[in-house]
Chains A and B, each alone.
Chain A
Amino acid sequence: MSIDITQFYQVFFEEAAEHLSTMESLLLALDVGDPSMDDLNAIFRSAHSIKGGSGTFGFNDMTEVTHVLENLLDRLRKQEMKLTDEMVNVFLEAGDVIHMQLDAHRGEGEVDAAQVKTVCEKLERLTCNVGGQPAHTPAVAIPTTAAAETAYGLFEDEPAAAETAYGFFDAEPAEKSSGDDAYGFFDDAVFDAPAKVDEPAYGFFTEEPAAAAPVVVADQSFGLFVDEPTQLPSTPQQAQQETQQGYGFFQKITPVAQESAPVAKEVVEAEAPRRRASDRTAPAADTSIRVNVEKVDQLINLVGELVITQAMLAESASTVDSGLYEKLQSGLHQLERNTRDLQEVIMSVRMLPISFVFSRFPRVVRDLAGKLGKQVELKTLGEGTELDKGLIEKIADPLTHLVRNSLDHGIESPERRLAAGKPEKGTITLKASHQGGNIVIEVADDGGGLNRAKILGKARERGLAMRDDMTDAEVWMLIFEAGFSTAEVITDVSGRGVGMDVVKRNIGAMGGRVEIDSVEGHGTRILIRLPLTLAILDGLSVAVGEQTYIIPLGYIIESLLMSDDDLRTVSGGGHMVHVRGEYLPLMALHEVFNVPNANVKKDARIVVIVEAEGKKIAVLVDELLGQHQVVIKSLESNFRKLPGISGATIMGNGKVALILDVAALSSVPARQSKLAA
């Protein structure tokens, strides 16, 4: 094994993180009174995979924790002891600890050694608590002594290395269970095939030292394994369990495989069809590969180019005689369809289901509800709704904040709920759905709702801009002001008034909006509207002189024709436009951007009213061209940031159009309007 394994660290990190989240979600779904064996086994396998991987890569601290964790899990799944709430909590804590260690190995954050120790001790205590100690004492002792650790590392590493030899696609053969990784199946196929020839039950063992070659002590290994009680019973059982239960996944498909290959009958029992199933169905299964995001973005760029080229071809071809060049025309039509399909597919590559974000909330809610002494049920709907990967990453924090907020301020204590005639258990609903070109994420609770009088009182206290005749919706938006909190008691969960303004700002930065809906006594609903993707923007193209600019649609309130009567001059040279009782500052784009030959019709000026950060501006343009979905391109990668411009895009004719940064537009240093220009 002279290969440099550091190159595989990243794979291990990603996979370990996946295992941790699998483990966590399984733990949270676990019914403590009557845990399902499948789940316990799956949790065990996740822990085991992390242990195997960390051993291989020499992350001994992780190996130690997972080892202790595994001991307890192993006893549970062999039904030597009963699962308790305490155990689940400790398991979750252990998961956190491993995560912390993982982050530390990644070079992000540090390990809190005391916490690691506490968790290990808790785990060990629980493991030894109920019966059967003698056999397990050595196991617990192993990770604590350095010498034993090495010994353990020795033989644990070898099989792990054998696994990783195939594995680096999927280093952990335990992924037999997961069924969501195609490479995992190949591993199994490899392992199972020889296993069948020799001794099915122990195939796992026999095969491994063989593949790992350098293990001289093939038969002694058995003796060694005795020191490791968790290993010995676990693996054969795991192997057996596979043989007996198969992967639920494969069994469903087996009949199909048999039909297509009746020869399989000759081969002994279920083993063969299963192998065949894995051979045949692997490509069709839920396969996935890891691809660098940059590559995907590159693809998106190239397809964007292709679409533009295709549009240009179509335009030139529209001038030729379609009678003479019939084949050319039909070929171009074909090209158009193909490029559209291609674009659609490639855009979808960047999309991820929102369950990536939602999946963290059961844990958040569970922990927090426990801390606050509230009973809360979390419902998630529409987890399959897809949105851009970039948005997924950015929406997680604001959503977490909103959920915590709902839990802390929204849901009342069980007593209060009962008194109000509501069920003791509160409900928080997370829902995602598509609405037009937007994705709508809803965080709803059936708690106390917002109190108008209280918010107004608080706003007055804080000196926020407010009126008494504000609509409810306007009042609710006040809670997004900086430093606003109506919580009676400031807790460590929330109530310091930091955060809601950040939530709003973050969502705004993603091009989204927040809306609140609340009925006192019945609950609050917060809606987040986001564009489907960061890479594409809906915009209105406007002409100014020979230039085209894009105004993001989200900022536009209306466009209208303005006559000279609506124009007011302000001392200092500025102009205001009178629009239905409001005076808005007028900004002539050709002056802001010094565009020559602007063609503003004096009698019918076209203005676009935009609103950003609560300020409305009237933007004067020559002409409205149309509404487009444009692909946002960075100006900064080769050039630099420009005042008043948020990016650029490429129009159908191949020219570059600049996208206005509406929020920054008003502060662009421009000579004051001289409308006559």
Chain B
Amino acid sequence: MNKNTEDIKNTERTNIEVVQREALTLAESIISTVREPLIVLDANLKIQNVNKSFYDTFKVHEKETIGTLIYDLGNKQWDIPKLRELLDEVLTKKQDFMNYEMEHDFQQIGQKSMLLNAKRIFRKDIGTETILLAIEDITERKNVEVIQQEALTFAESIISTVREPLIVLDANLKIQNVNKSFYDTFNVNEKETIGTLIYDLGNKQWDIPKLRELLDEVLTKKQDFMNYEMEHNFQQIGQKSMLLNAKRIFRKDIGTETILLAIEDITERKKAEEEIKQYSFELERSNTELEYFAYVASHDLQEPLRMVAGYTQLLEKKYKDQLDDNAKKYINFAVDGAVRMQALINDLLDYSRVGAKKKEITKINCISVINRILTNMKDVITTSNAQVKFNKFPEIYGDEVQIERLFQNLISNSIKFHSDKSPIIEIEAKGKDNNSCLFSFKDNGIGFEKEFSEKIFQIFQRLHTKQKYTGTGIGLAVCKKIVEIHGGQIWVDSAIGEGSTFYFTLPMTHRIHIGYKTTK
């Protein structure tokens, strides 16, 4: 062998070695860079090599790994029956495996789902068999699948349980799925429904122009719809008002678009709305009638009264000389009766008008209300030498005209029923809770027996003769009505000779509903 041949052979060997080394390096770098954990086992199942991903995934390090029997690795964590099964098969039956699924609960990293590929490789260079074990951690994917499956089940159970009828249509408007509510509401069965073009469903009952319009828009303009109102007279179930929501959903799993159509049957609601409209119309009408009645009463009922009173008085005036004292007394009774009747009619009207109209709710400054009342009542207060004491008030909400009337009625009541002392009225108010305020109007008047505490708030209820105290007995009834339409309560504490204290509550929030509201 000449030097040249030797050189060539050397060169070839070197080349082969280079190629081999390169192949090995390539193999090793493949092993080290693949993201999946890889193990290289020798014929005795001792670990020859693992890649970085294996260390990272299974939280073991090189020292305890290389040269260790796989089943002993990491405190025998890898002594897994299914793995033994697999490796036995590989060794004995000389068989490779793909996608061998295995689950195991590792001490350090918990429950894992793995997909194993096992491949025997006879390495000529070392003259022995090695097993390449690639482990794919599919725990996440399994979880996602479970979640997906759950989501799908969840979605399906939503569809099946919602009370609204739902239809799932494919891109050709054929019915893919409907829920029970749909079958129940529209009286169709599964057989005639699934796979049917929606317009053909139930003897073409669903071929509704407005529905076609909606679905065309959904398909062509790729637009979703909310609260699309539709009315239709169905053969079997009659006239229905419906509210439709349509939503396009692109389903990646089946690679096509579906349309979810939710149908709300608002027939009953519409009917109820109609009824409410009708009811409020009736209410308005009856209110107008009441107003008219009040007008007629104030005019037509009083005219005859004036005739009675007028002519008895004219009789007295003109025939004075021919009438004796009895006749004059009778005439007085007749006139007095007519005058009182008129007062009653006016008061009754007044009472019926409290709260009959829609009121303005405003924030009320009680001090300015009381000052205004004191100015109005200046004469009475001076004459009776009355004192009205008050200090601070919380802000209240209500109809100011009515509140003023309430306060004025109570103040004038206290002055009217004064004892032999000069009247003193003490007004106090404090917040009861966040929503209402408790007022008290305390006087030093004549008071009354406890048993009348409720009676005195009744209309035309009087505790004294009209000779002793004038008035029709409307004042406190009006007070009660005003307090009650503001959502409050009124009561009184009193004893003969010890004065009376009237208590009532009024709202401290603007969120109140004043009673007897009409839409007028």
Q: Do A and B come from one complex?
A: no
The residues of A with any CB-CB pair to B shorter than 8 Å are: none
B residues engaging A (CB < 8 A)? none
